[in-house]
Amino acid sequence: MSLAARPVASVPNDLEAFWVPFTPNRAFKKAPRLIVRAKDMHYYTVDGKAVMDGSAGMWCCNAGHNRAPIVEAIQSQAAELDYPPAFQFSHPKAFELASRIAALAPGDLDHVFFCNSGSEAVDTALKVALAYHNIRAEASRTLVLQPTGHKHTPAKSREMMRRMRGFLSLD
């Protein structure tokens, strides 16, 4: 079936329940920009119009959308185990991937910590850095610089940093 011949999804009757992140919602809901599918480097609207995905799904679909080898790998993994809990459990493939990444990293960067988002990565890196200096009896090393417009620091981390002596925001 060609892309043009696929069934068209309908526009929802109620757009009120979902707040679209980082979007002026009143304007969006007056003229919704809904996408219903994607293939390669394009999204497709409810009326079938192709829209180029110039930001690669906000930087997470750099290989393109709906590519057969990727879809097959996702389906295969989901059929085996869709999500292993990250606390007290893991999956052999997580160790395999970590080993492959560590082998590519320079110098003694030989450990990997997986995160689900930039915010989680920044929060974890801050906690690891503070713990590292704490066990080295350098707990006073708490100077943290936060760039202006930084969007990946969760609110709890920002609050923790503001309470620390030596926190410097560049806002």
Enter the DSSP assignment of 40.
B
State the pLDDT at residue 21.
85
Range 140-150 average pLDDT: 67
**Look-up of token digits 């969760």:** 154
State the pLDDT at residue 8.
54
Half-sphere exposure of 43 (CA within 13 A, CB side): 15
- pTM exceeding 0.85: no
Could you read off the pLDDT of 88-121 as tens digits, one per residue? 899 999 999 999 999 999 999 999 999 887 778 8
Distance CA 123, CA 114 (A): 12
Domains present along the chain, CATH in parentheses: 1-82 (3.90.1150.10), 85-114 (no CATH), 118-169 (no CATH)
